Structure 1
Amino acid sequence: MKIQSKFKRFWKIIGPGLITGASDDDPSGIATYSQAGAAFGLQTLWTAILAFPLMAAIQQMCARIGLVTSQGLTGTLKKHYPRPVLYLMLVFSFPAIVMNIGADIAGMGAVGNLLFPSIDATYFSVVFTVILLGLIIYLPYQKIASVLKYLCMVMLVYFIVPFLYKQDFVAIFKATVIPTIQWNKEFLLIIVGILGTTISPYLFFWQASIEVEEMKHKRALMVNKKIIHEMQQDVDFGMTFSGFVMYFIILTTGTVLYSAGIHQINTVEEAAVALKPLAGDLAYVLFAVGVIGTGLIAIPVLSGSLSYIFTETFGWEQGLDKKFHEAKGFYVIIAISLILGLSLNYVGISPIDALIYTAVLYGITAPVLIGIILHISNNREIMGEYVNSRISNVLGFAALIIMSLAAGALLYFEFFN
């Protein structure tokens, strides 16, 4: 009974961090991880170990900013930084998030078509978009949070898939703990892609804003050390969960597809189709179901983060806890982002192109935002006693340096080489 009681208490604590971590492994991210595994086998497994502490440190800073200031990241930027910085983030974030949504909707539609070939992928994309829009608008925040939290369980399928295929555990262990680097364009680009899809700017905005929602629901008037500690547990658990999903997707494609000589994967549906004859129908179905589950988690987070950015910028009513008539602008932005994302395939932007454009825009904004987040988190006038610890700063600055190098490499490879 004690174990059950502890689990219930822990399950009650976790929420925003778990949802954020799960949304990080969206269909676009799964496509990137699948590309890495197929192209280089187990050689990129170590990136999951590298990414975890960096992700956790940055997301904890964002969460703390939300808890202490009772504002989202955009509101804090607006209050303490020059307006051009805010507007620059808006200009880069809007197209990046919309294209990310578009790539995710297209991936979900394509995978739906794989499971039910008689129904066209376009119909699935439209149906998923309508369902998501209806749920986001009509369900109160706590219901949405609860649904998303339980949807995260769908992602456990990725912990099963690799073991439906014979594995070399010694090789896996070595690839996990001993980093491998190839000094060529293809390998470096996939490393940059993994970092870019893992440490994504939209998650920064979402984490801060959703912590504010949580505080409103708890009716907590002031932040305290207990709330901070619970937030850290939540974020650490969410980022750990995200890291494991990333790890097992690379492991699946890095053993099954790479070993079979399938080294070129562009989309999630290609990965699922390639798995079927090699690892069996169960692996194929589980992989496909996982893609749809992650899309259902990630798209509300993507559209919600964009809406928080806009509404905080212009001072509009906001919040998933509000009804449509109380925050029309907030929900209209969500609707527009979903409709624009759905329409990308009809205007000639393929999911692959959308992923590339998104990676470039995220790559440009991520280092800037990480620098600003570090500055805010160390500012006692804003954060009071809840400024960064030494370890948070070490990890934060490591993330800043690594993401700056990744952004430089991405821009060089895309535009100058």
Structure 2
Amino acid sequence: MSWRKYIGPGPIVAAAFIGPGTVTVCTLAGVNFGFDLLWAMALSVIATIVLQEMAARIGLVTQKGLASVISETLQKGILRYFSIFLVMIVIVLGNAAYEAGNISGGALGAELFVKTPIWNLGKLQLNILNLIIGSLALILLLTGSYKTISTYLTGLVILMSIAFLGTAVWSKPNFLELLSGFQPTVNAENIFTIVALIGTTVVPYNLFLHSSLISQKWKTIQDLKYIRVDTLIAVILGGLVSMAIIITAKAGSATEVNSAVDLAIGLEPLMGKMAKYFMAFGLFAAGITSAITSPLAGSLVVAGSFGLSTDLKSLPMRISIMGILGLGIVFSSLGIKPIQLILFAQLANGVLLPLLSGYILWLVNKKSVMGTHTNRLGMNVLAFAIWLITLLLGGMSVWKVLGS
């Protein structure tokens, strides 16, 4: 069997997995706590694999996206309208906030290579790089197919992974000290960073994105084994890249880090000028790949919730893509600090993630939806434990944002 049979939307999932927000959170984890929180990233990877597998299985069996299945299953009553409203508001506005962070983060990485002017238009500060990154994402989304997007993202994800993993190896970490980071430790100082690491890994819009794209590649339940391999590779690769950023951040000499750009500059005394450019390219690639996947996921949710076409060339998809991308460019041009945008997106995640993971667990055990392909007991125990974690994560994320 050709190896291509095993490759589906995994590269798109991996591209959505690693964005500037993830890079920044992992950087702060490494600078502030060294290797101590590698266990939290490993836990996040396990949770993501379980949730993504269930979402993908729902997509395979129903040949529909998660938004469509939720909309069709909850056919009447206040719960239906509340669920659709909450998903729409949180995903669309949350993705617009993420998109602003993606565009701004990609521009920050690119600025270490090139300097461009900033135009002041009233309250807007238009960075040429923001417009370039937003335009590239829009062109690919409007003129390409899902296959074309996957091809470009596969190349960018490979280059991004080489940049981050290569820099981590280059930093020559102490192997025994690194292994000690997989021993769980929780205290008052690191709890919010743990929440942020899990929150930036288990991303709600990725579940919608994955389930919607499954039917573009696979049609029968016999393809489930290919889906599981594709999912495992994508999520584990994303987890390894995140861990590489933590490892690299621990090696850097920066004492105050507000973004991955500070880390890139802080690496220069230890590892030379090339390390700075490796990190900068990784941040740029993370920004532009997520700038493509975020509006794609949001538009799939919009179209799926109202039973509209999810073809990339359809009018509903194009209007939704341009709307989310446009909001992202506007938000990134308002002078709002990226951390504020990330806080808003975390709040959106905190509200949606426990609800969405609960829906997934309910749907994947509903025989009228899944037939004979419902969860087994062991999978349900693991999934329920993860749901409890997402509930705790959601509550803590909301508390953290409201408290700040």
Paired with 2:29 and 2:90, the residues of 1 have a C-alpha distance of 26
Paired with 1:111 and 1:77, the residues of 2 have a C-alpha distance of 38
> Which of 199-208 and 332-341 deviates more?
332-341
> What are the residue-to-residue correspondences of 1:122-271 with 2, within 5 Å?
122-154=127-159, 155-176=161-182, 178-181=183-186, 183-184=187-188, 186-215=189-218, 220=219, 223-225=220-222, 227-254=223-250, 256-257=251-252, 260=253, 262-271=254-263
Paired with 2:166 and 2:358, the residues of 1 have a C-alpha distance of 38
Residues 1:317 and 2:309 are matched in the alignment: yes
> Which of 232-241 and 18-27 deviates more?
18-27
1:329, distance to aligned residue in structure 2 (A): 1.7
1:235, distance to aligned residue in structure 2 (A): 0.4
- TM (norm. structure 1) is 0.89
Choose from 259, 270, 276 the match for 1:278: 270
Partner of 1:73: 66
| Cα shift readout 1:66-120 (whole Å, capped 9, x = no counterpart) | 1111111110110112222121111122211100010010011121111123666
Q: Is the 8 A contact 1:205 1:305 kept in 2?
A: yes
Letter in structure 2 aligned against 1:331: R
Residues 1:305 and 2:303 are matched in the alignment: no
Paired with 1:328 and 1:270, the residues of 2 have a C-alpha distance of 41
Choose from 379, 398, 402 the match for 1:392: 379
Identity of aligned residues (%): 25
Q: Is the 8 A contact 2:8 2:214 kept in 1?
A: no
Alpha carbon RMSD of aligned pairs, Å?
1.8
Partner of 2:343: 356
Q: Is the 8 A contact 2:91 2:348 kept in 1?
A: yes
Structure 1 gaps, min length 5: 1-5
> Which of 56-65 and 132-141 deviates more?
132-141
Change over 3 Å in CA distance of 1:416–1:344 after alignment to 2: closer
1:410, distance to aligned residue in structure 2 (A): 2.3
Change over 3 Å in CA distance of 1:281–1:15 after alignment to 2: farther
- TM (norm. structure 2) is 0.92
Partner of 1:108: 106
Residues 1:328 and 2:315 are matched in the alignment: yes
Structure 2 gaps, min length 5: 75-79, 119-125
| Cα shift readout 1:225-246 (whole Å, capped 9, x = no counterpart) | 2x01110111011111111011
Q: Is the 8 A contact 1:54 1:398 kept in 2?
A: no
Number of positions where the alignment pairs a residue of Structure 1 with one of Structure 2:
391
| Cα shift readout 1:304-355 (whole Å, capped 9, x = no counterpart) | 11001111222322223xx3xxx11211211111111011133342211001
Paired with 2:4 and 2:27, the residues of 1 have a C-alpha distance of 30
Letter in structure 1 aligned against 2:166: I
Partner of 2:356: 369
Partner of 2:26: 33
1:296, distance to aligned residue in structure 2 (A): 2.5
Change over 3 Å in CA distance of 1:278–1:199 after alignment to 2: same
| Cα shift readout 1:115-141 (whole Å, capped 9, x = no counterpart) | 123666911111111111111111122
Partner of 2:123: none
Q: Secondary structure at the match of 1:318?
A: coil
Q: Secondary structure at the match of 1:199?
A: coil
Letter in structure 2 aligned against 1:74: A
Letter in structure 1 aligned against 2:48: M
